[in-house]
Amino acid sequence: MPELPEVETMRRGILGVVGATITGIRRPVCKVRPIVISPPLRVFRRRVVGSTITRIDRRGKRLLVWVGETQAIVFEPRMAGLVLLADPPTRAHLRFRADLRDGDVPHLWYWDRRGLGSVRLLTRDEIEQQLGPPRLGPDALTVDAELLRARLGRRGTPIKVALLDQSAVAGIGNLYASEILHEARIDPRVKCHTLVTHHWRRLAESVVRTLQEAIRCEGSTLADGTYRTALNKSGGYQNRHRVYGRAGQICAACGRDRILRIVQAQRSTFFCPTCQAAETSDTRRGRERKTTP
């Protein structure tokens, strides 16, 4: 967290700053773990103060606030960062503030409770070097079955772990990987190279459908309450989670089995052993023959 739906919600939430002029850059006094702000503040100010914000983009889980056409302020929220227009959840964890004029809001804030995120001013060339291929794969909202299979299909890793690789597909994190796989009825432990045509088709449809629905709900605010929208409101998709954080509860889809929690690549995975039952090799081969022209 935040993942693609939360960062896309942030992007949409701060569109009102487009057209505003940056009048100042501040690093609020913060007594907890400092974050990376690059370049040094005096250089940062020299490069952006007096410039106009021209557009807001997203690259995977990062937010780009373009200042003119040749550079952008890149916010990487990591585990607990927020880009806000309204007052932040606490004053103690404010990390960065841009002062604005000629717009609807006076400030753009970056807040980070855990201090794992960063704020960097990058040129267009630096953005392509650091946030383009091969470091970041295609955006998860743009995938189809052929693309997923081409980028993941030869791997011997479990499909859940592979979906978290940002160089393969950008934007999917731990929470939505579990939700996507449940919706696609695919066991998270299944190795990528064992999936066949109909699996990739279901998976691609689930990726786009799940992420779009989460965006419509403005992301997921979990029990710790950390994630907030740009106006400091809770998201709503947590109320639609099918498996994430629901270990031990009866699956709402099948109504028969309980959600299991396992650990994959040091991350929690949640799934329903009935809805996502792994198929046998013979069954997979038989279906592949039927679906292959």
Q: Domain for residue 29, yes or no?
A: yes
The one catalytic residue in 26, 135, 267, 287 is 267
Local confidence band at 259 (pLDDT 50, 70, 90 cut-offs): very high
The one catalytic residue in 58, 59, 61, 62 is 61
Contact by Cβ (8 Å): 207, 143? yes
pLDDT, tens digit (0-9, with 9 covering 90-100), for 178-210: 999 999 999 999 999 999 999 999 999 999 999
Pair (13, 56) in one structural domain: yes
List Cα–Cα distances, 270 to 163, 180, 188, 229, 244, in angstroms. Answer: 14, 11, 8, 25, 5
**Rounded-to-10 torsion of CA 120, 124, 126, 127:** 70
Q: Is 26 a catalytic residue?
A: no
Crossing angle (nearest 10°) for helices 197-216 and 145-152: 110
Pair (63, 155) in one structural domain: no
Q: By 3-state DSSP, what share of the chain in percent is helix, strand and coil, each rounded to 5?
A: 30, 25, 45
pLDDT, tens digit (0-9, with 9 covering 90-100), for 115-131: 999 999 999 999 999 99
DSSP state letters, 180-197 = HHHHHT--TTSBGGG--H
Pair (174, 89) in one structural domain: no
Pair (97, 211) in one structural domain: no
Pair (17, 80) in one structural domain: yes
What phi and psi values does residue 252 have, to the nearest 5 degrees?
A: -70, -20
pLDDT of residue 289: 45
Residue 176 is part of a domain; what is its CATH number? 1.10.8.50
Which stretches does DSSP call E strand in 154-283? 260-264, 267-271
135 HSE (CA, 13 A, CB side) = 11
pLDDT of residue 90 exceeding 50, the answer is yes
Q: Domain for residue 289, yes or no?
A: no
Residue 71 is part of a domain; what is its CATH number? 3.20.190.10
Domain that holds residue 10: 4-131
Pair (257, 153) in one structural domain: yes
Q: How many whole angstroms separate alpha carbon 114 and alpha carbon 175?
A: 18
pLDDT, tens digit (0-9, with 9 covering 90-100), for 216-240: 999 999 988 789 999 989 999 999 9
| Residue where a domain stops, chosen among 131, 155, 177 | 131
pLDDT of residue 292 exceeding 50, the answer is no
Pair (84, 180) in one structural domain: no
Q: Domain for residue 292, yes or no?
A: no
Pair (189, 240) in one structural domain: yes
Q: What is the pTM of this model?
A: 0.93
Pair (66, 183) in one structural domain: no
Q: Is 89 a catalytic residue?
A: no
Q: At 124, which amino acid appears? A: R
Structural domain count of the chain: 2
| Residue where a domain stops, chosen among 107, 131, 155 | 131
pLDDT of residue 143: 97
pLDDT of residue 104: 86
Q: Is 114 a catalytic residue?
A: no
| Residue where a domain stops, chosen among 78, 96, 131 | 131
Pair (145, 182) in one structural domain: yes
Pair (157, 120) in one structural domain: no
Q: Domain for residue 179, yes or no?
A: yes
Q: Is 201 a catalytic residue?
A: no
